[in-house]
Amino acid sequence: MGVNDFKIIVKKENILHNYHYLQKLKNKRIIAVVKANAYGHGIENVVKLLKREGCEYFAVAREYEAKKILNLKLKNIRILILETIENLELLKENPNLEMVVNSLDDLKNILSKDVLSEQLHLKIDFGFGRNGIFEKDIDDLEKILKEKNLKFKGILTHLFAADYEDMIEIEKKFELIVKRLGKERFEIIHTQNSAGIISIEGKDTTHIRCGTLLFGLQEIGYYDPKIKRAFKLSGKILGIKDLKDLKYIGYEKKELINLEKNTKIAKIRIGYGDGFSKRSENIMSIINNKKFKVVHISMDSSFVAVDDSVKIGDEIEIFHDLQESINHLGVPHYEFLSVLNERIEREYI
């Protein structure tokens, strides 16, 4: 990589701190959710890091992501795919791979293809409409389970960022369903994602499934001050030009860009080709503890309106203030971090 490229600096100790902190806090085992390239932190390195620390359970959303972990050839780990995949052979070939079953039809189909139920987790849906077996199908589900005397690896539901009352209600309903289906049929029980970890007890569950909290990416309303953020996106100022010498900034006529009182334009090496979306235009960056606006984003580089205090080679940080970035972009932090692609190197310190 060039010296002026942007990189995501990942603080390993903060991920490990969060891991141990959450495990102690809930006194449950952790399924580390590392989908979307570990929320942008780099799936392979994060898995290896957590495995060294004793984590043996990882969850992803895609076959592609499961294969990335399988290719690391780590011993004694389990990989759970949260979506239902078509390639059932992959499950048969890899006994340490598990999959969530997201509907009754999927269950029937998967069992008919001779996949071991011990590699499956049943997901119960309570109206988020995303994934899962509906409550109305529970009677049929119970019948199948009892007829075939099936035992599964796990059962789960998803406590998405619903409000507190909803979460409590879902927790109760889920508990009743597990009882009805037979608790002894499930080796593990898990309901809580990050929001659920902060908000509810997780009665009778054995594991927590955490993604964002592990990386210190917190949501408003579900905030724990002991959790530490792990990433920093930073680069160097590549070049500086005086505004009066320019007609265009990037492809934009300079009159069309709001530069406020700044007289200079600094170039940086990050653009939408790296996953730094054009929507981030006008976001604030930090250079030498001062805020400056990113006024234009192109494929390979972007431009920041700066003043005389900024010099070539100075460090610039983007997404420094997560809440400000969330407000500016109108999307959650999971999105803008996880879309930064492999053109941005991850450096682990």
Q: How far is the CB of 209 from ligand PLP (least distance, A)?
A: 4
209 contributes a contact to ligand PLP by CB under 6 A: yes
Residue type, position 19, single letter? Y
41 contributes a contact to ligand PLP by CB under 6 A: no
30 contributes a contact to ligand PLP by CB under 6 A: no
194 contributes a contact to ligand PLP by CB under 6 A: yes
Q: How far is the CB of 164 from ligand PLP (least distance, A)?
A: 16
Q: Which region, judged by CB under 6 A, interacts with ligand PLP, from 140-148, 208-216, 256-264, 290-298?
A: 208-216
Residues 285 to 324 in contact with ligand PLP, rule: CB under 6 A: none
Q: How many helices, marked H, and strands, marked E, lie in the chain?
A: 11, 20
Smallest CA-to-CA distance from 285 within 245, 332, 248, 237 is with 237
Q: How far is the CB of 194 from ligand PLP (least distance, A)?
A: 3
Q: Which region, judged by CB under 6 A, interacts with ligand PLP, from 209-217, 238-246, 291-299, 314-322?
A: 209-217
Q: Which region, judged by CB under 6 A, interacts with ligand PLP, from 6-14, 166-174, 211-219, 302-310?
A: 211-219
Burial class (CB in 10 A: 0-12, 13-18, 19+), 274: buried
Smallest CA-to-CA distance from 47 within 32, 29, 61 is with 32
82 contributes a contact to ligand PLP by CB under 6 A: yes
> DSSP class of residue 219?
B
CA distances to 11, 145, 258 from 253, in Å: 40, 67, 11
Residues 120 to 159 in contact with ligand PLP, rule: CB under 6 A: 158
Q: Give ∠ CA 295-300-301 in degrees, rounded to 5.
A: 35
218 contributes a contact to ligand PLP by CB under 6 A: no
Q: How far is the CB of 59 from ligand PLP (least distance, A)?
A: 7
Q: How far is the CB of 186 from ligand PLP (least distance, A)?
A: 16
Kindly give the residue spans of alpha helices, DSSP state H, lying in 71-227.
88-93, 104-112, 138-148, 164-181, 194-199
212 contributes a contact to ligand PLP by CB under 6 A: yes
Q: Which region, judged by CB under 6 A, interacts with ligand PLP, from 68-76, 102-110, 205-213, 260-268?
A: 205-213
236 contributes a contact to ligand PLP by CB under 6 A: no
CA distances to 40, 84, 97, 155, 301 from 70, in Å: 19, 17, 9, 23, 35
Q: Using only C-alpha atoms, what is the Rg of the chain?
A: 23
Give the number of other CB atoms < 10 A from CB of residue 166.
15
Q: How far is the CB of 160 from ligand PLP (least distance, A)?
A: 8
Closer CB to ligand PLP, residue 25 or residue 240?
25
Closer CB to ligand PLP, residue 154 or residue 211?
211
State whether the Cα torsion 145-146-147-153 is positive or negative: positive
State whether the Cα torsion 45-51-54-55 is positive or negative: positive
205 contributes a contact to ligand PLP by CB under 6 A: no
Rounded Cα distance, 50 and 15, in Å: 8
Contact, 229 vs 216, CB < 8 A?
Answer: yes
Contact, 343 vs 1, CB < 8 A?
Answer: no
Q: How far is the CB of 184 from ligand PLP (least distance, A)?
A: 23
Closer CB to ligand PLP, residue 153 or residue 209?
209
Given candidates 211, 216, 250, 271, which one binds ligand PLP under the rule CB under 6 A? 211
Q: How far is the CB of 216 from ligand PLP (least distance, A)?
A: 11
Indicate the residue whose CB is closest to ligand PLP: 211
Q: Which helix (H) or strand (E) holds 210?
A: strand 207-210
198 contributes a contact to ligand PLP by CB under 6 A: no
What residues line the site for ligand PLP (CB under 6 A)?
33, 35, 82, 158, 193-195, 209-213
